[in-house]
Amino acid sequence: MLEIVLISSLNGVLFGMLLFLMASGLTVIFSMMGVLNFAHASFYMLGAFFGFEISRHVGFWPGLVVAPVLVGMIGMLVERYGLRTVHKHGHVAELLFTFGLTFIIQELVQMIWGKLAVDYRVPPILDFPAFTIFSTEYPAYKIFELLTAIAIFLALLLVIKRTRIGLVVQASLSHPEMVGMLGHNVDRVFMLVFGVGAGLAAVAGVIAGPALVTQSNMAHSLGPILFVVVVVGGLGSLGGAFIASLLIGLLQTFAVASNASLADAFGELTGTGPLAAYLGDIWNVTVAQLSAVMPYLLLVLILIFRPRGLMGTRET
Amino acid sequence: MSDMTHTRPAGPPSGGGGFVATYGVWILAAIVLALLPQVFSSGLLISTMCLMGIMIIFALSYNMLLGQTGLLSFGHAVFFGLGGYLTAHAMNAARAAHAPLPLEVFPLAGGATGLVFGLIFGAVATRRSGTAFAMITLGIGELVSSSALLLHHVFGGEEGISLDRTRALHLFGVTFGPQEQVYYLIAGWGFISAAAMYAITRTPFGRICNAVRDNPDRASFIGYDTTTVRFIAFAMAGLFAGIAGGLVALNFEIVTSSAMGAAQSGTVVLMTFIGGVGNFAGPIIGAILVTYLQVMLSDITGAWQLYFGLLFIGMVMFAPTGIAGLLAMQAPLVRAGQFHRVLPWYVLALAPGLVALAGLSLVIEMCFQLTVNAPEGPQMSLAGIAFNATSPVPWLVAGVLMIAGFWGFRIAGRRALDAYGSALEAIRSPRSAQ
Amino acid sequence: MKKHLFSTAIALSLLGATAMHAVAEDTFKIGYVDPLSGGGAAAGQIGLNQLKYIADEINGKGGVLGKQVEIIPYDNKLDPQVSLLQVQKAIDQGVRVIVQGNGSSVAAAVESFVTKFNSRNPGKEVVHINHAAIDPSLTNDNCSYWHFAFDANVNIKVEAMTNFMKANDAIKKVYLISQDYSFGHSVADAAAKKLGAEGSGIEVVGNEFVPLQKVTDFSPYIAKIQASGADSVMTANWGNDLQLLIKAAGDAGLGVNWYTFYAGLAGTPTAIKQAGLEDKVFQITEGVNNIDYQPMQEKVKDYISKHKDAPIYYPRLFNAMGMVFKAVEEANSEDPVKFVPKLEGMRYADFIDGKEGFMRKDDHQYFQTMYISGLGALGANQPFDEEGTGWGWKVAATVPVDETIVPTTCDMERPN
């Protein structure tokens, strides 16, 4: 029992931090620009493929720096020449613009790198088990993921709360005219924010690529889970996203560990006929089988009972 | 974020007299619907028209949310899929019980399902608006489509639920074996549903929905409970989506979980937006166009997703009112008999635009040939012209086409806009009104 | 509103371009309805490449009945409803042989559509050649006269795999882990019954279902397997769900053997290599390229020289097309009504090993020699590695045809 609790907690924290790594860029864009960026997972995929391509030639570490910069620049171009035009038509148009972008990025990645998974490796310097608990090894690379996520969290927090740039960014969202009158270029601030968000997605891609599978469907297979993180955490709250990532990571991990079902609790169903068969479906579903839908259940419940999210300051 | 779902000010639905102001349009539509299979008689075209008809109902039902009430939903396919499943189950149950029911009534089962689930989920989701509403529907969509794989007996697992539409009671000797007969079933239901949804937009309730969309605070000040309005709109959208789902079950004779997946929910957003949310005819145009592209585009080019994405982004950036919005812009000119003044300018602008597009698609196709189709070598042909994708000539040609076309398009496009502006001015100015 | 014409122009040009699409006349047309975009595109593209290779080969020899074979791809996006439209399109364009395989949901939809279409449109019959969908219901309860299954179905594969495992004394505790949908459940149910039977000497220590294509982090599942004390894992997972599972096992240092159905699928050998699981992952298929059979190896070398994607992954496509061509030649007709009876009961020397298999008349299931192979460093006469990993599939056990035969519940409705 202790073994399961300990290992599940550890796995949950590691997975939660991976989620935060992936979601941090989305949080930044969502909270500062109010844009639901559907192309976030596509930027994440671009990051992974750029990282792979760079790692083939000059190694993993240069990729970790160069790929996010490149993707960040692409993000800024997208904002400058696409999103800005759409901005005046409202948030739905912005959201649909990023939706259309996913098709284009997906096809371009397929054309350049093909439809098969590429062999993106963990750098040799991190390719060893860091420690062993109850005969389960934990690779050093996972610890690296964890530390990067925490470092990004702290850095973002510092920038937003403690620097002038952060203040200007926050003010640009709520009072764009005022900020503009004070001599700040609001357009450039938004461009920068979108670039940083895309670049953070790419950081996640470079790091998660070797750990997961780098393939042209990786954006699609990620699904809407990152939206759950951002919304559950609360709009505009980086800390909320951090807590929500941990919560979802732990929730899913502990759910997988449990094989309990209604049949365990109340005994097997008896009876035949279609109705019993329908009921039997529900009766025999285990908690582990439900692990993937739990974040969405959490999302719906949070939005009903606490629409501002865990740590959000305003309602959506 | 309360303006999350504010698209452009859409004006009163149907533009108050542009497209479908009179009954004449409806009679014309009915005649066209009846004649279509005589004109397009191949199996594929009839099947495609069937799907278009279903998607029209589905997209119109979606626009009751997005266009009329300002609710952006990411889970509308839930009602579409559940309506399909329950229709399939109802068909199979009726067949097992030898109930003398004709096929014509079964879409009602889908509609009832959509309504019931619309009430259930609506009670949850419509307590919020804006982003929170969008996210709740996203969550509900994921929950329902995931449960399709968990509950094997209800949803038939991966293979879904099959049915045989010819095994119902035959009225007037109509067996519904031939696809053409199914077309008329869909056309009939589509006509009724579209008319009903149009009628709803003309009722006081439809106007209140618009008020809730445009200014929820004022709507509640003058005594309307915005939550209730959203709830009713949501349930009714579910009803019509369920009818569409029932028809899709009868059309394909199989329902699988993909019918209520996120991709289907996304498709209906695309259709509605490309067609235009501010106009009743918008979703109809969008459903026809997007369905056609989905069925046909992947045959022409392997890079169809790229074209699809470009089209979509182009629409969002340059024509956010959708195709119907573009057409509606011409309506005052047509009414004033001034359209012939601007038409030549449009043609003049369109021509270099097409040249630029030809250049762009040449580049895309050559890239595709050299990457995905690499095993087949660099030899390829486009529009009947064979060439080698590694030689510099076609690239040069593509570059010239793109640059010249784009340059010409910019100039001619500006002229066309000026022409449109001055024509509109001429109508509005008192001098020409005499 | 600026430049709104631009998007209209795109739409118009797309519409115009569709009109130009035409299909060559008077060829033997084979419609390939499989995913060429989206999640299943990798598998679909490999199948298309191989099908085109097969067509080029027979066309070089003069074609079938003097006609050139033409492969027409139809992208079904792995969606049952899109598939039905694409089948309708293929029929309109004169196709009477539909080749489809990926996804049992698609296969079930196509099989049912083809059967209904044929009964409603006499004189226009088409035949469904299923090269990969292996849900048992396709050739059991829902079997059809117009459907032929060329891959061994779940029952056959589980039978062969569990017999192999029972014969191995080192296997004591088996953990079952499958995706949570029909295919995963049919494998898990059949395997649990066979392995858990009295006297098998094997204990099933877990029977887990993983949400289909929704899991990013498999380490909780690995922890469960670890805690169960299993020495072997049997999994029906495929694609990302298998790649991530294997990589998570590699990360955690889980030292079990893996018995799989789809470890050969594109991308998975790369994941196995990355996880460092040499000679620990096994799969059951109708054969691998490293079988010491020269005619096949020659062809694989020729294929690789043209397609760099992978060695031949679908040997059964060669069997399927070879048998269809043979039946058409024997019947001297491209009409499925005429050549389908020739396919029934046909015996055929398999592409992969030259050994004879047969198409059972009762349910249209093809029976062939099955192989269990493991991935690892290659030895003599084993020239083919996977995806540039340096590792290739090596035969671990051979299951002769007569040990693969399972009963069927098919009660086939035959046209008069």
> In angstroms, what separates the C-alpha of B221 from chain C's closest C-alpha?
34
Same domain, B50 and B73: yes
Top-ranked range on mean pLDDT: pick from B173-177, B242-246, B278-282, B383-387:
B242-246
In tens digits, what is the pLDDT along chain A, a chain of 316 residues?
Answer: 777 888 889 889 999 999 999 999 998 888 778 788 899 999 999 999 999 999 989 989 999 999 999 999 999 999 999 998 888 888 888 888 998 999 899 989 988 888 788 888 888 888 888 888 877 888 888 899 999 999 999 999 888 888 887 887 777 767 777 777 777 777 888 899 899 999 999 999 999 999 888 888 888 878 788 989 988 888 778 888 999 999 999 999 999 888 888 877 777 777 667 777 777 778 888 888 888 889 999 998 888 888 788 877 655 4
Which residues 255-274 in chain C show a CB within 8 A of chain A? Answer: 266-267, 270-271, 273-274
Identify all chain B residues contacting A231, using CB atoms and an 8 Å cutoff: 131-132, 135
Nearest to B150 among A107, A235, A285 (CB): A285
- Enumerate neighbours of B (3 or more CB pairs within 8 A): A, C
Q: Please measure the distance between the N-terminal and C-terminal CA atoms of chain B and give it in whole angstroms.
A: 47
Identify the CATH number of the domain in which residue B127 sits: 1.10.3470
Contact C380, C394 (CB under 8 A): no
Identify all chain C residues contacting A123, using CB atoms and an 8 Å cutoff: none
Identify all chain C residues contacting A213, using CB atoms and an 8 Å cutoff: 240, 243-244, 247, 267, 271
Same domain, B240 and B118: yes
Same domain, B252 and B161: yes
Q: What is the pLDDT of residue A298?
A: 92
Q: How far is CA C401 from the centre of its chain?
A: 18
pLDDT confidence tier of residue B430, bands split at 50, 70 and 90: low
Q: Is residue B79 part of a domain?
A: yes
Same domain, B257 and B315: yes
State how many domains chain B has: 2
Contact C195, C166 (CB under 8 A): yes
Query: In degrees to the nearest 10, what's the CA dihedral of B363, B368, B369, B372?
Result: 170
Residue closest to B269 by CA, chosen among B70, B48, B74: B74
Q: What is the pLDDT of residue B62?
A: 95
Q: Reduce the DSSP state of residue B179 to 3 states and report it.
A: helix
Q: Would the pLDDT of B320 be above 90?
A: no
Q: What is the pLDDT of residues B284-310, one digit of tens each?
A: 999 999 999 888 888 788 788 888 899
The 3-state secondary structure of chain C, one letter per residue: CCCHHHHHHHHHHHHHHHHHCCCCCCCEEEEEEECCCCCCHHHHHHHHHHHHHHHHHHHHCCCECCECEEEEEEECCCCHHHHHHHHHHHHHCCCCEEEECCCHHHHHHHHHHHHHHHHHCCCCCCEEEECCCCCHHHHCCCCCCCEEECCCCHHHHHHHHHHHHHHCCCCCEEEEEEECCHHHHHHHHHHHHHHCCCCCCCEEEEEEEECCCCCCCCHHHHHHHHHHCCCEEEECCCCHHHHHHHHHHHHHCCCCEEEECCCCCCCHHHHHHHHCCCCCEEEEECCCCCCCCHHHHHHHHHHHHHCCCCCCCCHHHHHHHHHHHHHHHHHCCCCHHHHHHHHCCCEEECCCCCCEEEECCCCCEEECCEEEEEEEECCCCCCCCCCCCCEEEEEEEEECHHHCCCCCCCCCCCCC
Identify all chain B residues contacting A33, using CB atoms and an 8 Å cutoff: none
User: Residue range B350-370: average pLDDT?
Assistant: 87
Same domain, B394 and B302: no
Searching chain B, which residue's CA lies closest to the CA of residue A309?
Answer: B132
Q: What is the pLDDT of residue A55?
A: 92
User: Residue range B261-282: average pLDDT?
Assistant: 89
Range of the domain at B408: 336-433
Mean pLDDT lowest among B105-119, B183-197, B378-392, C5-19: C5-19
Q: Would the pLDDT of B176 be above 50?
A: yes
Selected for mutation to probe chain A from B62, B317, B318, B366 (highest A CB count within 10 Å) is: B317
Rg (CA), chain C: 22
* Cβ separation A217–C41 shorter than 8 A: yes
Please report, for chain C, the start and end positions of each structural domain, with discontinuous segments joined by +: 24-152+292-369, 155-285
Q: What is the pLDDT of residue C25?
A: 61
What span, in angstroms and rounded, lies between the C-alpha atoms of B310 and B290?
A: 13
Same domain, B284 and B399: no
Q: What is the pLDDT of residue B22?
A: 65
What span, in angstroms and rounded, lies between the C-alpha atoms of B41 and B51?
A: 15
Same domain, B210 and B285: yes
Q: Which residue has the higher pLDDT, C1 or B191?
A: B191
User: Residue range B114-141: average pLDDT?
Assistant: 90
Q: Please measure the distance between the N-terminal and C-terminal CA atoms of chain A and give it in whole angstroms.
A: 41
> In angstroms, what separates the C-alpha of C373 from chain B's closest C-alpha?
28
Neighbour count for residue C19 (Cβ, 10 Å):
9
Q: Would the pLDDT of C297 be above 80?
A: yes
Same domain, B47 and B123: yes
* Cβ separation C7–B298 shorter than 8 A: no
Q: Which residue has the higher pLDDT, B35 or C156?
A: C156
Q: Is residue B64 part of a domain?
A: yes
Q: CB-based contact (8 Å) between A107 and chain B?
A: yes
Q: What is the pLDDT of residue B2?
A: 39
Count Cα neighbours of B116 within 13 Å in the Cβ-side half-sphere.
Answer: 9
pLDDT confidence tier of residue B89, bands split at 50, 70 and 90: very high
pLDDT confidence tier of residue B431, bands split at 50, 70 and 90: low
pLDDT confidence tier of residue B6, bands split at 50, 70 and 90: very low
Q: What is the pLDDT of residue B27?
A: 84
Q: Would the pLDDT of B186 be above 50?
A: yes
Which residues 300-359 in chain C show a CB within 8 A of chain B? Answer: 306-308
Q: CB-based contact (8 Å) between C18 and chain B?
A: yes
The domain boundary residue, chosen from B321, B346, B361: B321
- Which percentage of chain B shows pLDDT scores above 70? 94
Q: Is residue B164 part of a domain?
A: yes
Same domain, B248 and B125: yes
Nearest to A135 among C213, C226, C247 (CB): C226
What ipTM, to 2 d.p.? 0.88
pLDDT confidence tier of residue B366, bands split at 50, 70 and 90: confident
Q: Would the pLDDT of B173 be above 90?
A: no
Q: What is the pLDDT of residue B8?
A: 40
Q: What is the pLDDT of residue B1?
A: 36
Identify all chain C residues contacting B42, using CB atoms and an 8 Å cutoff: 92
- Enumerate neighbours of C (3 or more CB pairs within 8 A): A, B
Selected for mutation to probe chain A from B7, B89, B142 (highest A CB count within 10 Å) is: B142
Q: Is residue B398 part of a domain?
A: yes
Same domain, B292 and B423: no
Which residues, including other chains, have CB under 8 Å from residue B323's CB and lie 6 or more apart? B274, B275, B276, B282, B285, B286, B289, B315, C8, C11
What span, in angstroms and rounded, lies between the C-alpha atoms of C394 and C192?
A: 27
Q: What is the pLDDT of residues C21-32, one digit of tens each?
A: 444 568 999 999
* Cβ separation B252–C80 shorter than 8 A: yes
Same domain, B315 and B176: yes
Selected for mutation to probe chain A from B1, B68, B74, B267 (highest A CB count within 10 Å) is: B1
Q: Is residue B7 part of a domain?
A: no
Neighbour count for residue A178 (Cβ, 10 Å):
12
Q: What is the pLDDT of residue C78?
A: 85
Q: CB-based contact (8 Å) between C227 and chain A?
A: yes
* Cβ separation C113–B346 shorter than 8 A: no
* Cβ separation C209–A288 shorter than 8 A: yes
Mean pLDDT, rounded, of chain C:
88
Same domain, B279 and B422: no
Q: What is the pLDDT of residue C201?
A: 83
Q: CB-based contact (8 Å) between A129 and chain C?
A: yes
CATH number for C155-285 (one of 3.40.50.2300, 3.30.70.100, 3.40.30.10, 3.50.50.60): it is: 3.40.50.2300
Q: What is the pLDDT of residue B257?
A: 85
Q: What is the pLDDT of residues B120-130, one digit of tens each?
A: 999 988 888 88
Q: What is the pLDDT of residues B19-55, one digit of tens each?
A: 445 677 888 888 888 888 888 878 888 988 999 999 9
Selected for mutation to probe chain C from A213, A220, A293, A297 (highest C CB count within 10 Å) is: A213
**The domain C24-152+292-369: what is its CATH number?**
3.40.50.2300
